[in-house]
A and B are shown apart, each in its own frame.
Chain A
Amino acid sequence: MIPRLTYALLVAAGHREAEFIAGDLWEESLLVRRERGRWGAIRWYAWQLARSLSRCIARRLCALGLIVAVPLLLLDRAWAELYEQLCLSPAAGLLPMNVLSLCAGVMLVRPVYRMVGAGALLGGVWAGFLVGPASFPLVFAGLLAVASGMLAGQLAVGRKGIL
């Protein structure tokens, strides 16, 4: 059951070696189970599978250009949510949010300004979101976290010129 599910997940992620990886993981997990017990083997298996899947998914996203499009789309959605809320409020965070959007854009467009943009981004979040009006924390935080995580991952692997 588990090897079959693993195989299906790996195939869905586009791994060409899904058959062998699923078999290797299962065989090895039986050995790990003897050493670390049932839960240790489950943890080990899940971690190995997650790493193999994430690598493959990231490669596919890169190949399709979605690694750029998805975070930008999410950021755009986040800003839209934010403006929608701010317009109905005393707009304490409106100016910081404008600066924030600009800095995020600069950070994406010009690699040399990434550090400046990242600093401004943090400042903007603090000013406009944490101390400003925020009646929508979960939606905004979720969108921002996913988008930032993807962008940070992309920067970490050294992709340049993302726009």
Chain B
Amino acid sequence: MPKGESLGEFEHLVLLAVVRLGNDGYGMQVRRELNACTGRDVSIGAVYATLERLEAKGLLESRLGEATPERGGRAKRSFQVTGQGIHALNRTRQDLTNMLRGLRFPLPEGSA
């Protein structure tokens, strides 16, 4: 896998969150999903920076929504996973499965 196409841990989680949100999630929903599933309290700025990076890699695409009064007159940007993003997720999952094969969890203390 070329280096630019590999997924960092946080990128992986964000990509999965977008899939979990039915491919129509926006920043704050992604943040909420991450918090609910992993307990991580990340800033909205960090989430958007990652979403932007994933979009630049071609793993996500975004759609602009209308500005609404509930959003203080600001527009919404929702994200969908691309075919390339799905491919990257499948490949990462396969890599993890391969690496985990033969290991028993929880790993015993002092096994390193």
Contacts and interface: CB of A to CB of B under 8 A. Distances in A.
B52 interface: yes
Contacts of A17: 27, 45, 48-49, 51-52, 77
Size class of the B contact interface (CB-based, 8 Å): 20 to 34
A24 B77 CA distance: 9
Interface residues of B, dominant DSSP: helix
A4 B73 CA distance: 9
Interface in B42-73: 43-46, 48-49, 51-52, 67, 70-73
A25 B75 contact: no
B74 A3 contact: yes
Interface residues of A, number: 24
A51 interface: yes
Given A16-B52, A17-B27, A17-B52, A24 B71 contact: yes
Contact of A28 (B28, B43, B73): B28
Given A20-B48, A23-B71, A51-B44, 7 more contacts: A17-B77, A23-B75, A24-B28, A25-B44, A26-B72, A26-B74, A30-B70
Across the A-B interface, the 10 shortest Cβ-Cβ residue pairs = A3-B72, A23-B74, A52-B45, A23-B71, A51-B43, A26-B72, A24-B28, A17-B48, A20-B77, A28-B28
